[in-house]
Chain A
Amino acid sequence: GQQVMQIPQYQHVQEGEDFTTYCNSSTTLSNIQWYKQRPGGHPVFLIQLVKSGEVKKQKRLTFQFGEAKKNSSLHITATQTTDVGTYFCAGSEAAGNNRKLIWGLGTSLAVNP
């Protein structure tokens, strides 16, 4: 079945450093979504990318969707302690039933103040 691989599994940075997490799918995706889960909390939707090569920005966060719609990345510039949490990508198969998302295992980000 389709898989979405997410790397790295963990990342520990100093406050002010940049951070990037990557998602790679074994098949073409129709869309990809990104979520953030704070420790002890629930996932919260950040953004959805739909178009090939799409780039979207939310303040210090930059999201990209690859040209082949098989990979995506989330980049955080100048991390802050409020960025701590686990970031998940979730995609929908282009040739699938479009009813459910395929989730990556997440990247846990720790930020040293």
Chain B
Amino acid sequence: DGGITQSPKYLFRKEGQNVTLSCEQNLNHDAMYWYRQDPGQGLRLIYYSQIVNDFQKGDIAEGYSVSREKKESFPLTVTSAQKNPTAFYLCASSYGGSSYEQYFGPGTRLTVT
């Protein structure tokens, strides 16, 4: 099956710990995106990547980091510097820029206490 996988579905961490969220796609898409979703806030872009070994900050990049070493993978690290990390994190991919539809993974719900 082609698609995007995110793991785990639920993640619990203690405050002060870094945590890495996984995102893998086998759709042969060039572009990948990380969004954060909070109740009533819609989707906010954290980071995006148009090509391997290149990525750009989105609207709320502070406290997050990413890498794009392989076309299929775009992991997101939530660092201890992120003040309010508890949220629903969605990864998406597309063939290219904003004129292409985005395919979303099932999401990871992160809870930090």
Contacts and interface: CB of A to CB of B under 8 A. Distances in A.
B42 A106 contact: yes
Interface string A4-36: 000001000000000000000000001101010
Contacts of B44: 103
Contacts of A103: 42-45
Contacts, number: 60
Q: Is the interface of B mostly helix, strand, loop or mixed?
A: strand
Nearest to B56: A99
A104 B42 contact: yes
B104 A100 contact: no
Interface string A61-101: 00000000000000000000000000010101000111111
Contacts of B45: 100, 103
B42 A88 contact: yes
A52 B99 CA distance: 15
B50 A99 contact: yes
Interface of A: 9, 30-31, 33, 35, 41-45, 48, 50, 88, 90, 92, 96-101, 103-106
The 9 closest A-B pairs by CB, nearest first: A92-B98, A105-B42, A45-B101, A42-B104, A98-B97, A103-B43, A99-B97, A101-B98, A98-B98
10 contacts: A41-B106, A42-B104, A42-B106, A48-B99, A99-B56, A100-B33, A100-B48, A100-B98, A103-B42, A103-B45
Interface of B: 31, 33, 40-45, 48, 50, 56, 58, 90, 92, 97-99, 101-107
